[in-house]
Amino acid sequence: MSILWKGVFPAYTTKFTANDTLDLPLFEKGLQSQLDAGVDGIVLGGSLGEASTLTTEEKETLVKLAIEIAGPVPVVLNIAEGATKEAIRQAALGKSWGAKGLMLLPPMRYKADSREALTFFKTVAQSTDLPIMIYNNPVDYKIEVTLEMFEQLLECENIQAVKESTRDVSNVTRMINNFGDRYKILCGVDTLAMEELVMGADGWVGGLVTAFPRETVAVYRLVKAGMLDEARAIYRWFMPLLELDIHPKLVQYIKLAEAQVGLGSEYVRAPRLTLVGEERERVLKVINEGIANRPVLPEYMKMAL
């Protein structure tokens, strides 16, 4: 199997009802807005998708529905498990449901050393023929996938991409210098996306894209078309909103933004709680100011990439 690891891949949120069940109509509405805006792939069951709170049955429902809606746009399932055996099982299930690729985190709930993390990645990769994007996020998950580790992962042909979330923009250059285009690089931190795209990243796994899909895709396409002044203007407007992606409560913050633009609701699954009081008002002020000053976008969909 193959997947084109480039463009904008929303880290799509899971929509819940007030009764803590999947809100499938709202899921479909929000997903259609992403597709209409021109996204290039969909990532389900990630951190922003509240993966750790979803049952296997819920994941199956979401993956199958997303595939039905997305058509040719690839659906990527996130694998974030504590046990290698369970990660292998989830990868097999993802393939049976129709997912076109996997995003693979290092072992969860245990700070593996380099040998253990490499063995985990290789074992999962060797269990499937699905294309894999490694999620490199040492800030949140405490395990860094180093250049030396990526060197050893070259033997796994289906490990094809990295979600680059180290917060070190120069890592894009290091990866390209060491591996050329062997690994596709997708920025995983909203507030560094334009910088990494300018330095050669192939794509953007976005958070605020779920609320502002057209603006996100416009920044990506403008950068790749060399229209940096136009991209900068949108990105500068976007920055206060993008900063909602780098907070421990990014799920609640981004879901509030989705609700404000009519593409989602504030409902989260416990132990998360919806925002209240001063915190909610503060975040809402950022969101509403962004909406009020939303820029007029160029005809980005017509740009050849």
pTM for this entry: 0.96
**Whether 235 is catalytic:** no
What's the rounded mean pLDDT across residues 58-71?
Answer: 98
Domain 7-302 in CATH 3.40.50.10490? The answer is no
Q: What is the mean pLDDT of the chain?
A: 96
Rounded distance between C-alpha atoms, residue 160 and residue 12, angstroms: 21
Q: Which of 12, 135, 220, 235 is catalytic?
A: 135
Comparing 94-98, 185-189, 204-208, 298-302, the range with the smallest average pLDDT is 298-302
Q: Are 9 and 193 in contact (CB under 8 A)?
A: no
Q: Which of 163, 184, 224, 255 is catalytic?
A: 163
Q: Are 57 and 48 in contact (CB under 8 A)?
A: no
What's the rounded mean pLDDT across residues 118-126?
Answer: 97
**Whether 267 is catalytic:** no
Sketch the domain layout of the chain as residue ranges.
7-302
Strands (E), the chain: 7-10, 42-44, 75-79, 101-104, 132-136, 159-164, 184-187, 203-206
Residue closest to 75 by CA, chosen among 100, 105, 56: 100
**Each residue of 31-53: pLDDT tens digit?**
999 999 999 999 999 999 999 99
pLDDT at 135: 97
104: Cβ–Cβ under 8 A, 6 or more apart, which residues? Answer: 79, 87, 121, 124, 125, 132, 133, 134, 135
